[in-house]
Amino acid sequence: MASYVFYRCPERRGLFARAPTVGLAGVRVIANVGSFALLLRGVFLGSTLSPTELLASGVVLWVVNVLIFAIVYWELDGDGPEARLERRRDHPDLVFPQQQADQERIARADWQPSFGDYLYVSLTNGIAFSPTDTMPYTKRAKLAMGVQSVLSIAIVAVVVARAVNIARG
């Protein structure tokens, strides 16, 4: 009976199928936080890396942070790419300008965000430390954007601190 309900209910099938991808996105975020902790350790407690290598590590960590959160937003918004394509949810987690009623003459009626749109959201959130044109509408989207902003500003602060330290000799 339980298997019958599972296979007859697309919502449950979708949750089960999405668990590995959502879990992997979470693991990536945790790994990125761990990498940041290692960078902090290297900057403040000493490292076998040269100052330039530590600085480059910080830049790479920030870029990886942007890519990871682009994947998070891609998987989070509207319960993932499949659900968005099939329009299973009435309300998105992130609202793009093209989805707003006052933009109907500018954007196609069937417009859907692509991965590039989520990469742009992640990039602007990582640079501005806040949403720019795409607004988070759900608590989970706000939490994800907040985590990315805090991590981004911390990485930038450490990279700048290291650059100043290198410049001072």
Q: Which helix H or strand E contains 80, and what residues bound it?
A: none
Ramachandran assignment for 129, one of left (phi > 0), alpha (psi -120 to 50 degrees), beta (any other): left
Q: How far is CA 87 from CA 17, 46, 111, in A?
A: 17, 51, 12
Contact 154, 62 (CB under 8 A): no
94 - beta bridge partners?
Answer: 136
Contact 97, 120 (CB under 8 A): no
pLDDT at 37 over 80: yes
pLDDT, mean of residues 142-169:
84
For tokens 């430390």, the residue is: 129
Convert the pLDDT of each residue in 85-109 to its tens digit. 777 777 889 988 888 877 777 877 7
Closest CA to 133 of 107, 163, 155, 156: 107
Tell me what pLDDT residue 87 has: 76
Contact 151, 65 (CB under 8 A): yes
Instruction: Supply the pTM of this predicted model.
Output: 0.80
Q: What are phi and psi of 130, to 5 degrees?
A: -165, 160
Q: What are the chain's domains? A: 28-168 (1.10.287)
